[in-house]
Structure 1
């Protein structure tokens, strides 16, 4: 995969979604970069990969993630911290844009939630 060029961060309203279990799929909505078209993305562990794999191949950097408010740079570069962020690329046919969705699925006392950290419009 070549270098991912981020065009802009899409602002999110709700970013936490309850889900049944770790393997569940959840849907969330966001508006495209120009705010005209509402998109519904289906997110799951099965369809995703670790963000760390993008960093390892040089497609994206910790600085890119920090500049787009995914997390603080010091957290992203901390080798003692578990890096569980995952990503899916959402291809929108309606507005002809691609989006990098960064998320994680967390568990707390047998309750699961999907957390969206960022939706980044990327260059095709």
Structure 2
């Protein structure tokens, strides 16, 4: 299995977007790592994978996530803490870059929201056939 190599941070800091329910799709926009091009993608539970499974398989490392400010290393390595993160890989044909979008969907008192933890540009030579593309 190929390792996901992080090239650089594109967007960080938690951003929260309300949605109707956990099966909703979120239209999400961010700007290219090369600058200038606005990328539009659709995030959903249906097209995402658990980040935890990619960490356990060695495809991505907790230290890389911590260095890129997704979360603190102690939180990422805490086995007692629930691990909510999901991800989608977005392959952009316009700029020929791949992006790892880390997010989750939360429910609080019957209201749902997507929380985006980060958008990271990743190595473009990895095999992304195992993941849904937008």
Q: Structure 1 unaligned segments of length 5 or more: list them.
A: none
Map of 1:30 onto structure 2: 30
| 1:11, distance to aligned residue in structure 2 (A) | 2.3
Count residues in correspondence: 124
The structure-2 alpha-carbon separation of the partners of 1:43 and 1:15, relative to structure 1 and needing over 3 Å to count, comes to same
- For residue 15 of structure 1, give the secondary structure of its aligned residue in structure 2: strand
Poorly superposed stretches of 4+, deviation over 6 Å:
none
| Range that drifts further, 9-18 or 110-119 | 9-18
The structure-2 alpha-carbon separation of the partners of 1:5 and 1:36, relative to structure 1 and needing over 3 Å to count, comes to same
Following the alignment from structure 1 to structure 2, what is the Cα–Cα distance between the partners of residues 11 and 79? 27
The structure-2 alpha-carbon separation of the partners of 1:62 and 1:14, relative to structure 1 and needing over 3 Å to count, comes to closer
The structure-2 alpha-carbon separation of the partners of 1:21 and 1:110, relative to structure 1 and needing over 3 Å to count, comes to same
| 1:36, distance to aligned residue in structure 2 (A) | 1.1
- For residue 104 of structure 1, give the secondary structure of its aligned residue in structure 2: strand
Following the alignment from structure 2 to structure 1, what is the Cα–Cα distance between the partners of residues 13 and 73? 23
Map of 1:18 onto structure 2: 18
Note the aligned Cα RMSD (angstroms): 1.3
| 1:16, distance to aligned residue in structure 2 (A) | 1.1
- For residue 55 of structure 2, give the secondary structure of its aligned residue in structure 1: helix
Contact 2:90 2:98 in 1 (8 A): yes
- What are the Cα deviations for residues 62-92 of structure 1, in whole angstroms up to 9, with x where unaligned? 1011011110000111111100100000000
Contact 1:7 1:123 in 2 (8 A): yes
- For residue 83 of structure 1, give the secondary structure of its aligned residue in structure 2: coil
